């Protein structure tokens, strides 16, 4: 399952919760951005240097990678294909550029079970309030994320599901129901 949406919509929290309940594996991405307070290397992200990230691109380790808000982010092939082969669902919290690459990939297993969810903020004003209230980014970083959000939301019609964020409880119930429904689809079950 690919989950995209502007920074601050709560998509990472939704993915994490579903994985904590044992429903799926969270694909831990690599990034060149600095860890936020409380973030753990290997759990939230693999925090890499620019040189290490570029070397991994060269070795073909990424399933997809992109530059987001001025930093590099990438999904490791090992997380996606190894888990899917074992029958484990994988959640990828990735941006719209990454989703384009996943859609275009030639992995038959990924194509067969790919589900794409776009999490939309109730409004850009509310998104601004949530991002600023989070207190994890500088005012400059919040401004950049808000600027990018306006472009990102244009992508929602390319996804299978659009989830307009409301309360945390509502969002989670809707989000989980997408996974549950997808698992019952006949082409996947046979």
| Residues at the site binding ligand 5GP, with contacts judged by CB under 6 A | 7, 29, 33, 64, 66, 68-69, 73-75, 93-95, 97-98
Closest contact distance (angstroms) between CB of 114 and ligand 5GP is 15
**Which residue number, 66 or 178, has a Cβ lying nearer to ligand 5GP?**
66
**Which residue number, 52 or 183, has a Cβ lying nearer to ligand 5GP?**
52
In 59-95, where does DSSP find H-type helix? 77, 83-85
**Which residue number, 150 or 188, has a Cβ lying nearer to ligand 5GP?**
150
Closest contact distance (angstroms) between CB of 57 and ligand 5GP is 12
**Which residue number, 55 or 188, has a Cβ lying nearer to ligand 5GP?**
55
Residue nearest to ligand 5GP (CB): 98
**Which residue number, 134 or 168, has a Cβ lying nearer to ligand 5GP?**
134
- Interatomic CA distance for residues 98 and 67, integer angstroms: 9
Report CA Rg, the chain: 16
Nearest C-alpha neighbor of 175 from the set 119, 101, 112, 110: 119
DSSP state of 66: E
- Interatomic CA distance for residues 91 and 170, integer angstroms: 19
Closest contact distance (angstroms) between CB of 105 and ligand 5GP is 13
Q: Residue 117 has which token pair?
A: 């969810």
Would you say 96 and 117 are in contact if contact means Cβ atoms under 8 Å apart? no
Our measurement of the distance from residue 59's CA atom to the centroid of its chain's CA atoms, rounded to an integer in Å, reads 23
Closest contact distance (angstroms) between CB of 97 and ligand 5GP is 6
Closest contact distance (angstroms) between CB of 81 and ligand 5GP is 15
């Amino acid at each position: 399952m690919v989950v995209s949406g502007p920074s601050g919509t709560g998509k990472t929290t939704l993915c994490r919760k579903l994985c904590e309940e044992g429903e799926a594996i969270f694909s831990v991405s690599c990034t060149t951005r600095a860890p936020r307070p409380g973030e753990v290397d290997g759990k939230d992200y693999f925090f890499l240097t620019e040189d290490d990230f570029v070397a991994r691109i060269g070795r073909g380790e990424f399933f997809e990678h992109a530059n987001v808000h001025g930093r590099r982010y990438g999904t490791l092939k090992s997380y996606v294909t190894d888990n899917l082969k074992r029958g484990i669902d994988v959640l990828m919290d990735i941006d719209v550029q990454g989703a384009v690459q996943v859609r275009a990939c030639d992995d038959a297993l990924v194509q067969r079970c790919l589900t794409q969810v776009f999490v939309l903020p109730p409004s850009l004003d509310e998104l601004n309030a949530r991002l600023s209230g989070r207190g994890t980014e500088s005012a400059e970083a919040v401004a950049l994320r808000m600027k990018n959000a306006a472009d990102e939301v244009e992508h929602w019609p390319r996804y299978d599901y659009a989830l307009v964020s409301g309360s945390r409880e509502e969002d989670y119930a809707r989000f989980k129901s997408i996974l549950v429904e997808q698992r019952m689809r006949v082409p996947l079950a046979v």
